[in-house]
Structure 1
């Protein structure tokens, strides 16, 4: 399996784009750890590490990383999009707390199997999907229940 950098370089080459020092720095910071992040958090992280990269370059690079299959956008709605690594990681879905913003990852093979069966029955060839369930996490649910008493 190719490294993240090799896969990104391969993608950029296929689009006749350059692997610039800015793209290298963004890639390195993103893959330094495995967590969900927002573009603005990445901007702050880069600046805290004395890397002066424009917001526009960050957004363009994030878009390229998503298109290359290295990242996935996971949270939408009133908040900014969040991103996570997907290359080399098993597919998973998300529970998102509407109150505190906690993101809980889960893998449920029965859901995956059912989705495959639906696609097969409809003669549909899936390329990707994302499942995100909005609600209240256990902690926020307890707080809300206590407030109702």
Structure 2
């Protein structure tokens, strides 16, 4: 499956006049191997260095930007000031959505496209054809919510307890 996706990305690059250089391929392989992790450019660089020590950080940045421009990757920011990269899913028309925990920073994906009825309504009522959308929910994940409930509340200070 990985080889088929690399071949598809190779064709996407070629259709825009680019080649899948060894450096780009190493970057794509790292992204495929860590697809669920929403890696930053620095994360990608550290993993690429293990495979191809000769590749520099600037090359990884340029590759990520190119793949983002060609819509192979989605460049995201989850509010922490760090750009993260996510491979576009071949199986869906739109980019998937995310649930981001504001306490622990965990990111979970929502693969279903719940906005299709809204897109149809936008086109019907406003003549607006949606090409893509992205939705990020920010809140508190189940694990953090359970930890919050388990915390013992402080004993209120009272002069009668002295």
Q: Which moved more, 1:96-105 or 1:118-127?
A: 118-127
1:17 corresponds to which residue?
A: 18
State the 1:33 CA deviation. Answer: 4.1
What do the CA deviations read for 1:62-89 (whole angstroms, capped 9, x no partner)?
1222232322123332231222222323
Q: Which has the higher contact order (CA 8 A, sep 6+)?
A: 1
What do the CA deviations read for 1:87-118 (whole angstroms, capped 9, x no partner)?
32335311001111111112444433223322
Aligned CA distance change for structure 1 residues 114 and 148 (closer, same or farther; 3 Å):
farther
Aligned residue pairs: how many? Answer: 148
Q: TM-score, normalised by structure 2?
A: 0.76
Structure label with greater radius of gyration: 2
1:18 and 1:110 map into 2 onto residues whose CA distance is 36
2:76 and 2:28 map into 1 onto residues whose CA distance is 18
3-state SS of paired residue (1:34): coil
3-state SS of paired residue (1:31): helix
1:139 corresponds to which residue?
A: 143
2:76 corresponds to which residue?
A: 74
